[in-house]
Chain A
């Protein structure tokens, strides 16, 4: 199984993401922002960081990178994609997921271990969890406040596309405490917390709950 990890200028978490993919037993395939080539991967991880310096808006420039010309249609055709933090922002700017991530309420950059409730264990990236399970993941962002139009929120809530919700306090003012969402097919998932930072005790991770994301996608790819 080959999981692509995209690196844009300013991406920070690609090495952690690649390591998490390898720990899960898959091959991590580096994908470069300037290439028009997905290298035949079975799934894609869009990691966090400050791609293109967050110029204009977080993810606004990355969304037009050459690799995205390949990724956007492939994702629409069912290629599983996980975006964390800046990756989530890019997925929203690319309109692969609805809504937007805006400046945190209170303006503070938030860096802490955050409890997150799994609301949908039926997506390509969450099948290793159970609905209602609380997991602990690091968060670190200044622009993670999820917003969407009322009708979009209603649709997301009604169709189980709110995949993760903050538990024990909302760190950024996200509408409905939303930490992560999915597309209708459950193949594309975006969230602000960082599963790739919670896979190894050696790194001081608050938990190993991040492993579930990678176990989920590998299980899906094996059965596909």
Chain B
């Protein structure tokens, strides 16, 4: 059993209003050194047998991320 983490983030040039709202809220709560926040998604995927990075990449491109607006990174936790 392999465990794979896929992180999906809006591309840097795409406006992230949710991240901005959080970045505005944190200083109000006393976290005064927060300079910026970007919000994304994390997928934890359990695979039967060993993980195949090419297969995970295909999975991310097909469904997990919309590559028009999002980038993704893959980490294998064997």
Question: What residues make up the interface of A, taking CB atoms closer than 8 Å to B?
Answer: 56-57, 60, 64, 92-93, 98-100, 102-107, 145, 147-149, 173
Q: How far is the CA of A140 from the CA of B13 in the complex (A)?
A: 26
Return the chain B residue nearest A64 by Cβ: B63
Question: Contact: A60 with B69, CB < 8 Å?
Answer: no
Report if B57 contacts A (CB, 8 A).
no
Question: Contact: B63 with A105, CB < 8 Å?
Answer: no
Q: Could you say which of A99, A105, A107, A173 contacts B68, with CB atoms under 8 Å apart? A: A99
Q: How far is the CA of A105 from the CA of B20 in the complex (A)?
A: 10
Report if B17 contacts A (CB, 8 A).
yes
Interfacial chain B residues near A145, Cβ < 8 Å: 15
Question: Contact: B68 with A103, CB < 8 Å?
Answer: no
Return the chain B residue nearest A63 by Cβ: B63
Interfacial chain B residues near A103, Cβ < 8 Å: 17-18
Within 8 A of A (CB), among B45-61: none
Q: How far is the CA of A57 from the CA of B60 in the complex (A)?
A: 13
Question: Contact: A102 with B14, CB < 8 Å?
Answer: yes
Q: How far is the CA of A104 from the CA of B10 in the complex (A)?
A: 14
Question: What residues make up the interface of B, taking CB atoms closer than 8 Å to A?
Answer: 10, 14-15, 17-18, 21, 63-64, 66, 68-69
Question: Contact: A100 with B63, CB < 8 Å?
Answer: no
Question: Contact: A173 with B15, CB < 8 Å?
Answer: yes
Min CB distance, A113 to chain B, in Å? 23
Q: Could you say which of B17, B21, B64, B66 contacts A100, with CB atoms under 8 Å apart? A: B66
Interfacial chain A residues near B10, Cβ < 8 Å: 102
Q: Could you say which of A60, A105, A149 contacts B17, with CB atoms under 8 Å apart? A: A105
Question: Contact: A105 with B15, CB < 8 Å?
Answer: yes
Question: Contact: A60 with B21, CB < 8 Å?
Answer: no
Interfacial chain A residues near B17, Cβ < 8 Å: 103-107, 173
Return the chain B residue nearest A106 by Cβ: B17
- A99-B68, A147-B69, A148-B68 known; A107 vs B18 contact (CB < 8 Å): yes
Not counting A100-B69, A103-B18, A173-B17, a sample of 5 additional A-B residue pairs whose C-beta atoms are within 8 angstroms of each other reads A56-B63, A64-B63, A104-B17, A107-B18, A148-B68
Question: Contact: A100 with B68, CB < 8 Å?
Answer: yes
- A102-B15, A145-B15 known; A107 vs B21 contact (CB < 8 Å): yes
Interfacial chain B residues near A100, Cβ < 8 Å: 66, 68-69
- A100-B68, A100-B69 known; A147 vs B63 contact (CB < 8 Å): no
